[in-house]
Amino acid sequence: MHRKNRMRDSEKQKRKFYIASVFITGLFVLLGYRSFELQVLQSEKFSAGAKKQHSRVYRMPPVRGTLFDRNKKPLATSVWATSIYLNPKEVKNPDKLARTISKPLGLSRNKLISLTRSDKPFVWIKRGEDPVTAKKIEAMGLSGVGFAEEPKRIYPNGSLLGQTIGFTNIDLKGVEGLEYGFEKMLAGKPATVRIRTDGRGNSISDVLLNAKEQSTKGSDVLLTVDSNIQHMTETALEKGIKEMKADRGAALLMNPQTGEILSMASYPFFNPNRFGEFSQKTRKNLPVWMSFEPGSTLKVFLAATLLEEKMGDENTEYDCENGKKRIGPKVIKDVHGHGILTVSETITYSSNICAWKMGETLGKKKLHDSLRNFGFGETVGVDLPGEATGRMQSLRDWGDIELATISFGQGISVTAIQLATALSSIGNGGYLMKPYIVKKIVSPEGKVLMERSPESVKRVISYDTASKVTRILEQVVENGTGKNASIPGYRVAGKTGTAQMPNPQTGTYYENRYLSSFIGFAPADDPRLALVVIVENPREHNYGGVVAAPIFKSITEKVLFYMQIPPDKEKLEKMVMPDMVNKSARAVMKWAEKEEVSVRFIGNGYVVSQHPPSGKKIRRGTDCTFILKQNI
């Protein structure tokens, strides 16, 4: 009995031993396989994980492409600068570090100390630092402080073309203007760099200095703008706005034959090198962004429509009601009362009442459709961000009052680039050209990625109509409201504009706030320049002929000389006889010497009459007679 029990116990022990042996063997096999799997089959996965735990990836900005003017003068470019960073866990004495570098870097001690407390293995202290300052700090040998080369965007001409160019942020991303609009082409490819750290987060390698070689430069963008013409435009615009004590203004100059933009200015100016110092309002590119009521400049396109539709000609007459006419509850007034005026005289003397009657002749649909055809009420499609459409009511909302006010440029809003584009169609013989500012884009390897050529959108009026309107606009400058835009030796065509500014709070117009403007092109017989000038809220005067026309003259006169466009010899020999009444004999002699004319005086004192009369064309050497009398 006992023997049988011992045999059973022995067999149980053997089974237990066998089971334990199988379990232990299986466990070793399982562990061995797991080890094989980890070390061989999944080695790359876990190696990458370990690498990720002990390293950090950073994207370093590339060198952006350069923005050039049409003559390859850089307007926005990049330079290599030194940026300073920190590995907080390597800093041994945060207080000492803050005391040492706060002053040369212009940073507060509190900010620097807060950076040393960061859990990150890498934080920027200051980017784009002056190389001299950076070298001084590097020489101090401060623990935890590192240095990296990265590109910095600079604008070598300061505020020149500032709003149009726009700017980039600290990470070299385009924020506004061309920098934003052409971000993909300018940006280039960033460098991806990895900083290795030990288990405590301390840096054990520094590859930021090699980022320079790893990035790919962006493409260069060549503009149609001429920086010399841009400077002339900005100088004259600033001078005129300051003299008139106005709030702001804009100017846009383009080639009416091609649509190329030669200059584009907004005042007050904006310096993209210091973009943080300027308000959002100042950063706006006014020629494409700002909508305004055009006032009498819109009469140019009213006249063009009347002539194109053959519903009148230059000599068709209208009664201007001596300067006052009621339309329903609204009274339309002219600055100076007139009786009967022709279409040409209506534009020359800028009668609102006769303009309304021209609008009535056309009717609502014809005028509405024509203004749409000239491009008002929609973007012109210029290659710049932020273009406004302006505002033109749909035809169904036009009543009798809307027809009247829109005929003389109120109740409709436009942009400077719309006006310049529409005006160019008058100057070039009837074609609406697509305006553009980017001429060419070139890759870092020199490959031309894009090149623009002049593009005619459509014909809007006939050559005959364009010629007739041009002659009318020449009369505006020679004998009408635009005399201050006259340039000796050149045929100039233009139109003044003075519009009350709408008050958005009341829905009516300000009593004493105006937008003054002048649009024109030269030489009138073969236009090379079409210029729009707008001045908002001038306080010294408000008429476009007094405020904006002199700015137009200053810019156009200088640009004609710069572009070596010769004066008309016949025009140069002729001049307009000025009004010398109430002038002294000395003043008359001074004028005569300057203009090389002969004078004869009858009597003494001040001029009471003259021959030839004022406004008559005369030549050098003309004999002029002045009758003088003493003032009593």
Catalytic residue ranges: 296
Positive or negative, the CA dihedral 573, 574, 576, 577 is positive
Q: How far apart are CA 521 and CA 257, in angstroms?
A: 11
**Under a CB-based contact definition with an 8 Å cutoff, are residues 467 and 250 in contact?**
no
Q: How far apart are CA 469 and CA 476, in angstroms?
A: 11
Q: How far apart are CA 343 and CA 354, in angstroms?
A: 8
Cα-based distances in Å from 356 to 155, 295, 298, 415, 466: 49, 13, 12, 22, 21
Q: How far apart are CA 386 and CA 309, in angstroms?
A: 35
**Under a CB-based contact definition with an 8 Å cutoff, are residues 534 and 516 in contact?**
yes
Report the side by side order of strands in the sheet with 598-603.
598-603, 623-629, 606-611
**Under a CB-based contact definition with an 8 Å cutoff, are residues 272 and 162 in contact?**
yes
- What residues are paired with 503 via a beta bridge? 508
Residue 343 identity: V
Q: How far apart are CA 72 and CA 452, in angstroms?
A: 16
Cα-based distances in Å from 573 to 267, 418, 473: 37, 36, 21
In the numeric block, which tokens belong to residue 393?
Answer: 């009511």
Where do we find the tokens 């590119």? 285
For residue 326, the SS3 value is strand
For residue 615, the SS3 value is coil
Locate the DSSP E strands across 29-121.
55-60, 67-68, 74-86
**Under a CB-based contact definition with an 8 Å cutoff, are residues 179 and 167 in contact?**
yes
Cα-based distances in Å from 304 to 275, 307, 347: 43, 5, 11
Which of 425, 430, 456 has the alpha carbon at shortest distance from 519?
Answer: 425
Phi, psi of 458, rounded to the nearest 5 degrees = -175, 165
Cα-based distances in Å from 297 to 65, 187, 365: 40, 41, 20
Q: How far apart are CA 580 and CA 591, in angstroms?
A: 10
The burial of 239, by beta-carbon neighbours within 10 Å (0-12 exposed, 13-18 middle, 19 or more buried), is given as: middle
Residue 96 identity: K
Q: How far apart are CA 251 and CA 517, in angstroms?
A: 10
Where do we find the tokens 């706005």? 241
**Under a CB-based contact definition with an 8 Å cutoff, are residues 240 and 249 in contact?**
yes
The alpha carbons of the chain give a radius of gyration, in whole angstroms, of: 37
Alpha helix positions (H), 396-543: 400-407, 416-427, 463-479
Phi, psi of 388, rounded to the nearest 5 degrees = -90, 160
Q: How far apart are CA 628 and CA 632, in angstroms?
A: 13
Q: How far apart are the first and last CA of the chain?
A: 165
**Under a CB-based contact definition with an 8 Å cutoff, are residues 603 and 631 in contact?**
no
